[in-house]
Amino acid sequence: MSRYRGPKLKISRRLGILPGLTTKKSNKINRPGKDGNANGDTNKKLTEYGIRLEEKQKLKFNYGLTEGQLYRYVKEARRRKGVTGLILLQLLEMRLDTICFSLGFAKTIAQARQLVNHGHITVNKKVVSIPSFQCRLNDIIGVKNNANSKNLVETNIKNNQENNIPAHLKFDSSKLEASVLDYCDRNDVVLQLDELLVIEHYSRR
Q: Which range marks the domain in which residue 80 is found?
A: 8-91+189-203
Pairing of strands 140-143, 177-180: antiparallel
- Is residue 33 within 8 Å of residue 20, measured between CB atoms? no
Residues 99 and 45 reside in one and the same domain:
no
**Average pLDDT of the segment spanning 149-158:** 90
The answer to whether residue 8 scores a pLDDT higher than 50 is: yes
In-domain check, residue 27: yes
In-domain check, residue 117: yes
Considering only residues 32 and 191, tell me which one the structure prediction assigns the higher pLDDT: 191
Residues 84 and 141 reside in one and the same domain:
no
Residues 36 and 18 reside in one and the same domain:
yes
pLDDT digits (tens, 9 = 90+) for 36-87: 544 444 446 778 888 899 999 989 988 989 999 999 999 999 999 999 999 9
In-domain check, residue 42: yes
In-domain check, residue 2: no
Cα 3 off chain centre by: 14
Count of domains forming the chain = 2
Residues 137 and 199 reside in one and the same domain:
no
pLDDT of residue 73: 95
Element (H, E) at 169: strand 169-172
| Burial per residue of 106-144, b for 16 or more beta-carbon CB atoms within 10 angstroms, e otherwise | bbbbbbbbebbeeebbbbeeeebeebbbebeeebbbbbb
Residues 85 and 99 reside in one and the same domain:
no
pLDDT digits (tens, 9 = 90+) for 75-100: 999 999 999 999 999 999 999 999 99
What phi, psi does 140 have (nearest 5°)?
Answer: -110, 115
pLDDT digits (tens, 9 = 90+) for 115-129: 999 999 999 999 999
